[in-house]
Amino acid sequence: MNQTNILNHIGNTPLIEISVLSPNPRVRIFAKLEGQNPSGSIKDRIAKRMILDAESEGLLSSGDTIIEASTGNTALALALVAKQRGYKLKSVVSTRTTPGMGELLLSHGVDVIWCEPRTGMKSAIDLAKQLAKENDWFTPCQFENRSNIRAHYESTGPEILETLPNVDTLIAGIGTGGTLMGVGGFLRAHNPAVKIIGVEPKMGEALQGLRNLDEGYIPPLLDLDFLDGRFLVDSKNAFECSRDILEKTGISAGISAGATLYCAQRLADRMSSGNIVAIFADGGWKYLMSSPWREAAASALSDPDEVAWW
């Protein structure tokens, strides 16, 4: 492996015990720190896998244009891979995305196409597909691409078991469904009793990278029957847990990490003992413009639910 190629440093992120945040001394909580990937999120894994698979299938060649619908992290990850592999990148992004994300994408050379979220994320997905067809561009479509699941089945899942052979519960956000299906599938292949829990925003709340399935769009990759449960978290609790992570562990994690921790704490209360793995999908640096760690969630923004936080 060429150690000087940044794409070869995607994955192998730390799995860290954060049981100081567990309300139950008999339940250990571990966090998979995906913010340690080169572009700062778990999406590096799927961006690399989707593009390399497309190349092997003859769907991409040097100089081609890629277009993808994203709330931000996937576009950043694709920007990294596209630069390394010689592609141009356009991203359809909701106007409700995290403050500062548009500027961040532009700084990475992404051509941002803004989209009003009339039907949530589906509006952006449909527009990306339409533009891809009209202009002969390639769209990976992370919500439908099986390479998304493959990336996690072949990397994230094995990494977790290598560090922690006994996993009782996996908690991850419901975004594309790829993390839950890929990591969960690998863990369950080794332990059929492992519990797989998806975290989603409460109805009407928009949280960066995650979606409430009751609002109409269920990602094609996600098999709801595969999950043992779905856990709803509001913006306020996600904010507060994000700050707790930083204050009590020194780890800067994103708002979705706060949501998964909140779920982990509630489940730990109900368990007699065991090991919980929570996926911390990205780092906290992208959210500094909104300062959720400095102020109470209620006063950080006049209306936090007007922004897609996770």
At 223, which CATH number?
A: 3.40.50.1100
Answer yes or no: do 116 and 247 share one domain: no
Same domain, 300 and 172: yes
Tokens of 279: 């996926």
Mean pLDDT of 81-86: 98
The answer on 164 and 108 residing in a single domain is: no
Using the predicted structure, report yes or no on whether residue 297 has a pLDDT greater than 60: no
Least confident of 78-87, 135-144, 211-220: 211-220
The number of distinct structural domains making up the chain is 2
Q: What is the pLDDT of residues 187-203, one digit of tens each?
A: 999 999 999 999 998 76
pLDDT at residue 299, as a whole number:
45
User: E-assigned strands of the chain?
Assistant: 15-17, 27-33, 65-69, 88-94, 111-115, 118-120, 169-173, 195-201, 229-233, 274-280
At 93 the pLDDT is 93
In a shared domain, residues 184 and 272: yes
The answer to whether residues 12 and 37 touch, using CB atoms and an 8 Å cutoff, is no
CA–CA separation, 307 and 310 (whole Å): 9
Residue 197 within a domain: yes
Q: Do 28 and 91 share a domain, yes or no?
A: no
Task: Let me know if residue 294 belongs to a domain.
Answer: yes
Looking at the predicted structure, is the pLDDT value of residue 97 above 70?
A: yes
The answer as to whether 147 is a domain residue is no
CA distance linking residue 69 with residue 306, whole number of Å: 19
Q: Report the sign of the C-alpha dihedral through residues 7, 47, 184, 257, in that order.
A: positive
**Residue 166 shares a structural domain with residue 262:** yes
Same domain, 24 and 65: no
* pLDDT of res. 65: 99
Residue 182 shares a structural domain with residue 282: yes
Q: How far apart, in whole angstroms, are the C-alpha atoms of residue 119 and residue 76?
A: 23
Q: Is residue 173 a part of any domain in this protein?
A: yes
| Residue % of the chain over a pLDDT of 70 | 88
* Alpha-carbon span 309 to 170, nearest angstrom: 22
Examine the pLDDT at 146 and tell me if it is beyond 50. yes
pLDDT grade, residue 30 (50/70/90)? very high
Q: What is the CA radius of gyration of the chain?
A: 18
- More confident site: 189 or 292: 189
**271-289: pLDDT as tens digits:** 999 999 999 999 998 877 6
Return the minimum-mean-pLDDT range out of 10-24, 93-107, 259-273, 294-308: 294-308
Task: Pick the catalytic residue from 43, 48, 90, 286.
Answer: 43
The reported pTM is 0.91
**Of these residues, 70, 147, 256, 290, which one is catalytic?**
256
Q: Which of 80, 106, 135 is the last residue of a domain?
A: 135
The secondary structure of the chain in percent helix, strand, coil, rounded to multiples of 5, reads 45, 20, 35
Query: Between 18 and 308, whose confidence is greater?
Result: 18
- The yes-or-no answer on residue 43 being catalytic is yes
107/168 same-domain check: no
Handedness of CA 184, 169, 174, 13 (dihedral sign): negative
| d(C-alpha 51, C-alpha 44), whole Å | 11
Domain range for residue 209? 6-36+155-306
Q: Which residue has the tokens 């015990």?
A: 17
Residues 92 and 109 in one domain: yes
In a domain, 61, yes or no: yes
The answer to the question of residue 54 being in a domain is yes
Co-location of 31 and 49 in the same domain: no
Give the tokens for residue 109: 């050379």
Using DSSP bridges, classify how beta strands 65-69 and 88-94 pair: parallel, antiparallel or unpaired: parallel
**30 and 56: one domain?**
no
User: How far are the Cα atoms of 211, 280, 310 from residue 183, in angstroms, in the given order?
Assistant: 19, 13, 19
What pLDDT score does 116 carry? Answer: 85
Residue 248 falls inside a structural domain = yes
Last residue of a domain, one of 135, 169, 193: 135
Domain end residue (candidates: 86, 105, 135): 135
Amino acid 302: pLDDT: 45
Note the pLDDT of residue 301: 46
In a domain, 1, yes or no: no
pLDDT digits (tens, 9 = 90+) for 205-226: 555 555 456 556 789 999 999 9
Known catalytic residue: 83? no
Dihedral of the alpha carbons of 216, 281, 84, 101, in degrees to the nearest 10:
70
